[in-house]
Amino acid sequence: MMDQLQQLKQMTTVVADTGDIDAIRTYQPVDATTNPSLLLKAAQDSKYSELLQEARSFATESTCSVEQMTERFGVLIGREVCGLIPGRISTEVDARLSFDTRATIAKAHSIINQYEALGIPKERVLIKIASTWEGIEAGRQLEREGINCNLTLLFSFAQAQACADAGIYLISPFVGRILDWHKQRQPEADFSFERDPGVQSVSRIYRYYKTHAYDTVVMGASFRNTGEIQALAGCDRLTISPALMQALAEDDSPLPQRLKPGTSSDDAKTQLTESQFRWQMNEDVMAQEKLAEGIRNFAADQIKLEQLLKEA
């Protein structure tokens, strides 16, 4: 009998939500994602000391800034991960550029150039960008150049619509953070399984994309429990932390497929203008608050990582 992680891999591409090399080696995902918080955690682990030193040496030889040194560390982590997975690594653009389209594009070019200099082609990299209007527009341009993107910090249907219209390769709608917001306001409510508002959000996006034949990949992210993962079994991709992958691997009960391409959407195909996008985000208090919070938190961890590299 296959365990639930093995069953899930039969219907969904499993992605490791970690920069931990050992965890990736253990659970053998197809792809992997990182973010500033995960990189900060890795930088504080002694087993990555050689990569830290390599990043510092690169900065010294290239006389580059501390921001470029932390970027290099992220690329070096990505290089190590690529040696363990058959698919792609997602590497995030500095969150402080989330409202600057041109700077985001320039940073993406820098990341891709560094990967290619290390022998990793752009086809194995996804540039991870916050799903602001400016970020989505940067993704639109990068996709036209053949650089695939992962639009992250996605909490609303409007963000998903705009990403699909921009031709984004992949989106990462956040399940657990949506749940967090609702639980904080309704602590006694039953948000289990399909009642989970994060699960409902991803399911709606998935149905919309499949009904209207968008190629953009839906990758559920930010899970709080295995129930959320089980409720989204069959989604294109799911990025899962090592702890939750272990929990699935220890469960050998049957895992039915919940999402299938043939399901239909009640949402008509709509292409949003910038003003419509901004208005819908303004009306969605949860999405507005969680997007802003996510950007702030990633930026704060980016600054901590820079400080750690600078002082060591």
128 counts as catalytic: yes
Phi, psi (deg, nearest 5) at residue 47: -70, -10
**What is the rounded CA–CA span in Å between residue 120 and residue 231?**
35
Catalytic site residue from 128, 183, 210, 260:
128
3-state helix, strand, coil in the chain (%, to 5): 60, 10, 30
Cβ burial, residue 6 (10 Å; 0-12/13-18/19+): middle
Strands (E), the chain: 13-17, 31-33, 89-92, 125-130, 149-154, 170-173, 217-220, 237-240
**What is the rounded CA–CA span in Å between residue 309 and residue 274?**
38
- According to DSSP, residue 93 is labeled P
Pairing verdict, β 125-130 and 217-220:
unpaired
Amino acid type, 291: L
Contacts of 310 (CB under 8 A, 6+ apart): 66, 69
Query: Hunting for tokens 């950007």 — which residue is that?
Result: 295
Contacts of 89 (CB under 8 A, 6+ apart): 31, 32, 33, 34, 78, 81, 82, 124, 125, 126
- According to DSSP, residue 236 is labeled S
Query: What residues act catalytically?
Result: 128
